[in-house]
Amino acid sequence: MSINSLDKESQKLVKDYKDTYIYVLNLLQSQIDKGLSENQARSILREIQLELQRLDEEAYKWSYEVLPEYYYLALSDIDKDAALLRNVNVIQGNPIVMHRQAIMKASRDTYNDLAKNTTYMSQEAKKIIRGTGSELITRQIISGDSYKKTKKDLKDELVKNGVSSFIDAGKKEWKIGTYSSMMVRTKSRILHSEGTFNRLNEYQERYPTNENFDLVQISNHNAEDWCRYFESTIWSLSGRSDKYPHVEQLPNGYSTLHPNCLHVFLPYMVELRKLRGNEGRIVSKQYLNRTIKDLNREDYHLRKAK
């Protein structure tokens, strides 16, 4: 299985989140449009909660069944390359405790985060439903507009503002489709990279002088943001390389370059890469030890200048 095929499975969950969001929005518009009774409003709320509960179940399955495959893929890719090296025995047996703990933590944290967002969205939907009746009356009294126009204004505002599922530290409101897409991509990349680092460290412990297990390469996706400066570059896990910089000199603690990033860390085995004609790139020193905030600001000014 490739990372592209795993991404296709992940996009099914993201699509489910987006479709559910539209479904909930349509229900809320219907509630405003028809001026439903209290019983009808409760019925719609139950329908919304059931749909979000179903979505949580899908998120649970993805978090515990699909997400771990990103980690296993990293292990498998390294083992396949290791099998081609001279004087190296491929690691055999079931995943050790380190791998199981990394996978379980990622699955648990990811599911809890996604479930927290559907809970928040449910609460926001409840506020909209319960506040619709009084909002209609208040607006009519203040504005003197007709009941029909007031309902239309409320529906228009609902479509424009949507139903938030998360508010970050910067007070930015996230819609559940956008948030789930960012979350799924970020978590999958971080876990894949963690699998890469952990497996290479295992080989390093067995073969401490073998440089094939000390280097990683950042994947290439023809990025248009500042990620482009790091694509195809080589990094040393130990920091002992005379040629390549230490991974700790990357932004964001090197788990991923930034949230919602497509890039992953791939093994860079010198013995194989030379045979395959892939020497990799050395990053420019001006991009070492930079912060995401700093890089974002610099890239913004470059784009603005163009």
| pLDDT score of 234 | 94
Residues composing the chain: 306
| pLDDT score of 133 | 54
Tally of CA atoms within 13 A in the half-sphere of 65 that contains its CB: 9
| pLDDT score of 148 | 61
Task: Dump pLDDT digits (tens) for 76-99.
Answer: 999 999 999 989 999 876 567 889
| pLDDT score of 186 | 94
| pLDDT score of 114 | 94
Angle between helices 97-143 and 176-206 (to 10 degrees): 170
Q: Is the dihedral of CA 224, 262, 239, 208 positive or negative?
A: negative
Instruction: Give the DSSP letter string of 38-106.
Output: HHHHHHHHHHHHHHHHHHHHHHHHIIIIIHHHHHHHHHHHHHHHHTTSTT-PPP-SS--HHHHHHHHHH
Task: Give the mean pLDDT per block of 10 residues along the chain (306 residues).
Answer: 93 94 83 66 83 95 97 94 92 78 95 92 79 54 55 62 75 86 94 94 92 92 90 93 93 82 91 72 92 88 78
Say how far apart CA 109 and CA 39 lie, in whole Å. Answer: 37
| pLDDT score of 207 | 94
Say how far apart CA 30 and CA 125 lie, in whole Å. Answer: 13
**How far does CA 113 lie from the centroid of its chain?**
11
Tokens of 179: 């948030």
**Is the Cβ–Cβ distance between 91 and 76 less than 8 Å?**
no
CA dihedral 174, 175, 176, 178 (to 10 degrees): -80
Say how far apart CA 59 and CA 184 lie, in whole Å. Answer: 10
Quickly count helices (H) and strands (E) in the chain.
Answer: 8, 5
Say how far apart CA 42 and CA 20 lie, in whole Å. Answer: 19
Say how far apart CA 169 and CA 71 lie, in whole Å. Answer: 29
